[in-house]
Amino acid sequence: MAKQKDKIITKLKNKHRFVLINDSNFAEVFSVRLTLMNVLMMLSGFVLLLVLLLWFLFANTPLGVILLGDAGLNSRAELLELNSRLEKVTQSLEAERMKTQTLQNLLNDKADLYDSSNLERQYSFE
């Protein structure tokens, strides 16, 4: 187990040279010495930076609401309150509509619709 662990550590620490060469005149353009551990560290740092950037974008901008559909707790409470207020307004509007209809019927000489003595004559059981 210890020998296997040592092998992995030595492979991570082996140094390699990455060289970019101009193909037409074989001039060296760029050269860097890398180890596998350095490459893994750079990749993990890049991934961490990308995750933090995306978290910041989704958490602190409207982009999260647009893409993820997350309305948040405050918005949900506001939606429930607005829905309650809408129901109350709808009920009061329906009551006003019924009052208006009743007044129009009374003004248009349709008062017999609301006369309870007339109901006995219409629905006699004889």
Q: Do residue 97 and residue 59 come from a single domain?
A: no
Residue 54: count of CB within 10 angstroms of its CB: 12
**Residues 102, 83 share a domain:** yes
Average the pLDDT over 104-111 and give the result: 81
Q: Which residue has the tokens 């890049």?
A: 46
List phi, psi (to 5°) of 27. Answer: -85, 140
Same domain for 20 and 63? yes
10-60 residue pLDDT tens: 888 889 999 999 999 989 999 999 999 999 999 999 999 999 999 998 888
**61 in the same domain as 79:** no
Residue with tokens 């829905």: 83
What's the pLDDT band for 120 if we cut at 50, 70, 90?
low
Same-domain status, 5 and 59:
yes
For residue 9, name the pLDDT band (cuts at 50, 70, 90).
confident
Domain count of the fold of the chain: 2
| DSSP output for 38-71 | HHHHHHHHHHHHHHHHHHHHHHHSTHHHHHH---
Cα(36)–Cα(125) distance, integer angstroms? 101
Q: Are residue 82 and residue 52 in the same domain, yes or no?
A: no
pLDDT at position 105, please? 83
> What is the per-residue pLDDT for 2?
82
Asked whether residue 89 carries a pLDDT value surpassing 90, the answer given is yes
> From the CB of residue 102, how many other CB atoms can be counted at a distance below 10 Å?
13
Report whether pLDDT(126) > 60.
no
Q: Are residues 76 and 33 in the same domain?
A: no
- Regarding whether 91 and 66 lie in a shared domain, the answer is no
Dist CA 74 CA 65 (whole Å): 13
One domain, residues 2 and 64: yes
Co-location of 29 and 53 in the same domain: yes
- Same domain for 66 and 79, yes or no, is no
Tell me what the mean pLDDT of segment 58-63 comes to.
Answer: 82
- Domain boundary (29, 48, 70) is at 70
Residues 91 and 122 placed together within one structural domain of the fold: yes
Structural domain of residue 126, as residue ranges?
Answer: 72-126
